[in-house]
Amino acid sequence: MTILKSSVAKKVAMALSGLFLVMFILIHLAINLTLIYPGKEAFDAAVEFMATNPFIQLMQPVLFLGFIFHIAMGIYLEWTNQGKRSVKYVNSNPGAASSWASRNMIWTGLFVLLFLIVHLINYFVPFKTQEIHDHYALVTGLFKNPFYTLFYVLAFIGLGIHLSHGFQSAFQSLGTPREKCNKALVITGNIIALLVAFGFSAIAIYFYFN
Amino acid sequence: MKLNLKIWRQNGPNDKGRMVDYQIDGVESDMSFLEMLDLLNENLIAKGEEPIAFDHDCREGICGMCSLYINGEAHGPDRLTTTCQLHMRRFKDGETITIEPWRANAFPVIKDLIVDRSALDRIQQAGGYISVNTSGRTVDANNIPIPKKDADNAFDAATCIGCGACVATCKNASAMLFVSAKVAQFAQLPQGRVEAAKRVQDMVAVMDAEGFGSCTNTGACEVECPKGISLSNIAILNKEFLLAQVK
């Protein structure tokens, strides 16, 4: 356990939990896309599958722990890192050397966390506590609210920005040979970021207007 | 050239410190940034004021002694340039320039613009060397086959001058670029390979203990590094660290 005390090991843990969550979000996106195509029946079948499949049931607590770990470790690391420079610069120009996304992972992360809490209250809690027959209606119904849809879209743009840095950063933390892989990882990361940001947003906007 | 300077003044480690405004006239465009400060100090001494303390040594861009956070960037606005190699032609007549010391808890201010960077020395002492015996019946270095790519990468890592710009620039005051340059320099050569696992663990442990932050891969260090030390070295450090755990 002494290894986990190292800053390098903590970054590896952030990377692994982050990539695990990326996998989850892509599966989630694939299921949500069935709302539009093929449509209601496919979506309800997917929800039914997720609710009953034993492997998915097994993964649910793992996913929950993955979220808790990634969030708690992220906040802890940011908190301790902030404490490493007690006297701040009077004039600092960080934009000259690094991307906004890379410097603001904590803020995009916390914004997504806020969304996650609202999301759990809206879907997950009723899903677990009530007998819901029409999942399609529950999901699409909320998008009729313009404020909710706007918040939803902003949250996924935030997540997209988070992933645009997070994906390639995770591989760097895992020690992937940079010269060979970096270009491919940056491109893949950006594609995933765009998919997540536009994919989820498009679904929300579609149901707002339809 | 006439300039307005905002410079950090701090009498000692326990003084709170403050930004002080100075006006300077007669700056020539071919002066280096440090020569401009020399001129300012001569003016201050002539007026009976205390000159500004700043670090410098070779003034050739190779010793790593000069520092300074100029207009919000380590070693100023130029890339691959130490402060001593930054020239006043980079600035405009009448411009306001802010000059601050490196900011990191691991680099406490000694006086004015001078900070204590001995934390980097202590990381180096924890493993930034080889202890394999290379004396006695020494084999000619060229007799050891090393792929050119590895030799080039090791040499590139070895060009780190330990100035601390990476720490000063990093939003987390992380020393990962410095430490990774040292780790990668040795890890890619057969003589250094022997102790690679112990080296990376020992150097990372001291880095953490000295109060540097952790790396979040923003890449700012690589951009601001006057020697262009690559982020590839940080990936190598991470890999070496993980490999060392399973050894």
The ipTM assigned to this model is 0.94
B125 plus B238 within the same structural domain: yes
Distance CA A46, CA A30 (A): 10
Using the beta-carbon criterion (under 8 Å), do B239 and A92 form an inter-chain contact? no
The structure tokens 């970021």 sit at: A193
Radius of gyration, CA atoms only, chain A: 19
Query: Residue B61: which CATH number?
Result: 3.10.20.30
B125 plus B241 within the same structural domain: yes
Give contacts of B232 with chain A, Cβ < 8 Å: 177-179
Give contacts of B156 with chain A, Cβ < 8 Å: none
CATH numbers and ranges of domains, chain A: 2-80+100-209 (1.20.1300.10)
Look at residue A128 in the predicted model and tell me its pLDDT.
82
B169 plus B201 within the same structural domain: yes
Helix (H) or strand (E) holding B6, with range, is: strand B3-9
- Write the residue in B69, B213, B217 that is nearest to A173 by C-beta: B217
First to last CA, chain B: 60
3-state secondary structure of B75: coil
Look at residue A41 in the predicted model and tell me its pLDDT.
94
Task: Give me the residues of chain A with pLDDT under 70, please.
Answer: 1-3
Q: Which candidate in A7, A12, A107, A168 is best for mutational testing of the B interface (most B CBs within 10 A)?
A: A7
This prediction's pTM: 0.96
B176 plus B87 within the same structural domain: no
Look at residue A2 in the predicted model and tell me its pLDDT.
61
Tell me the mean pLDDT in the region B134-149: 85
Q: What is the pLDDT of residues B202-235, one digit of tens each?
A: 999 999 999 999 999 999 999 999 999 999 999 9
pLDDT band with cut points at 50, 70 and 90 for residue B77: very high
**Which tokens belong to B93?**
């007549």
Count the domains in chain B.
Answer: 2
Using the beta-carbon criterion (under 8 Å), do B238 and A84 form an inter-chain contact? no
B65 plus B145 within the same structural domain: no
Using the beta-carbon criterion (under 8 Å), do A178 and B245 form an inter-chain contact? no
* B194 in Cβ contact with B183 (< 8 Å): no
Q: Give the number of beta-carbon pairs within 8 Å between A and B.
A: 141
Give the range among A47-51, B155-159, B169-173 with minimum mean pLDDT: A47-51
In chain B, the residue whose alpha carbon lies closest to the alpha carbon of A74 is B216
B58 plus B96 within the same structural domain: yes
B106 plus B124 within the same structural domain: no
Distance CA A124, CA A63 (A): 14
Look at residue B142 in the predicted model and tell me its pLDDT.
85
Peptide bond preceding A177: is omega within 30 degrees of 0, i.e. cis?
A: no
* B144 in Cβ contact with B190 (< 8 Å): yes
B130 plus B74 within the same structural domain: no
B95 plus B14 within the same structural domain: yes
**Which tokens belong to A109?**
């992360």
Give contacts of B242 with chain A, Cβ < 8 Å: 12, 174-175
Give B 115-134 residues with CB within 8 A of chain A.
none
Task: Report how far Cα B242 is from the mean position of its chain's Cα atoms.
Answer: 26
Q: What is the pLDDT of residues B25-51, one digit of tens each?
A: 999 999 999 999 999 999 999 999 999
The residue segments making up the domain with residue B164 are 118-246
Query: Residue B145: which CATH number?
Result: 1.10.1060.10
Q: What is the pLDDT of residues B111-124, one digit of tens each?
A: 999 999 999 999 99
Using the beta-carbon criterion (under 8 Å), do A175 and B235 form an inter-chain contact? yes
Boundary-marking domain end, from B79, B111, B143:
B111
- Write the residue in A77, A97, A169 that is nearest to B224 by C-beta: A97
Using the beta-carbon criterion (under 8 Å), do B19 and A179 form an inter-chain contact? no
**Which tokens belong to B165?**
């710009």
Tell me the mean pLDDT in the region B71-100: 98
User: What is the average pLDDT score of chain B?
Assistant: 96
B156 plus B178 within the same structural domain: yes
In chain B, the residue whose alpha carbon lies closest to the alpha carbon of A15 is B216
B131 plus B204 within the same structural domain: yes
- Write the residue in A89, A97, A178 that is nearest to B235 by C-beta: A178
Residues 6+ away with beta carbon under 8 Å from A186: A168
B99 plus B40 within the same structural domain: yes
Q: What is the DSSP letter of A122?
A: I
- Write the residue in A89, A168, A179 that is nearest to B69 by C-beta: A89
The structure tokens 């380590």 sit at: B74
